[in-house]
Amino acid sequence: PGTAEKPFATPARARDAIRAKKAAGAAGPFVVAVRGGRYELAEPLTFGPDDADTRYEAHPGETPVLSGGKAVMPCAAQIAALR
C-alpha cells in the first residue's frame, strides 16, 4: 500500500503512513501525489509542524477534490412545498 500500483484510499491514510515512516527513522522530504476524484472527509485533515517536509500535489493531469461538506438532498415534503 502507498505505491502507484496500490495507493492509499485517502490523503489522511497517506499522511499517517508518512508519520509512521518518520517515527521509524525515515527522513524527508516526502511527496504525496493525490489521484483525481472526490475525497469526502468525515473529519478535518490536519497537519502539524512535523508534516512540514511533506508536499501534497495533484497527480499529473488529474484533479482531486477534498470536500468537508456533504450533499443535502431535500425531502419529498420540502419539494412538494416548493410546487
What is the per-residue pLDDT for 4? 84
In the chain, pLDDT over 90 holds for what percent of residues? 69
Confidence (pLDDT) at 77: 73
Summarize pLDDT for 22-56 with one digit per residue, the tens.
999 999 899 999 999 999 998 999 999 999 999 99
The answer on pLDDT for 82 being more than 80 is: no
Tell me the average pLDDT across 7-26.
94
Supply the DSSP string of 17-43, one letter for each residue.
HHHHHHHTT----EEEEEPSEEEE-SS
In 3D, which of 5, 3, 15 has the Cα closest to residue 54? Answer: 15
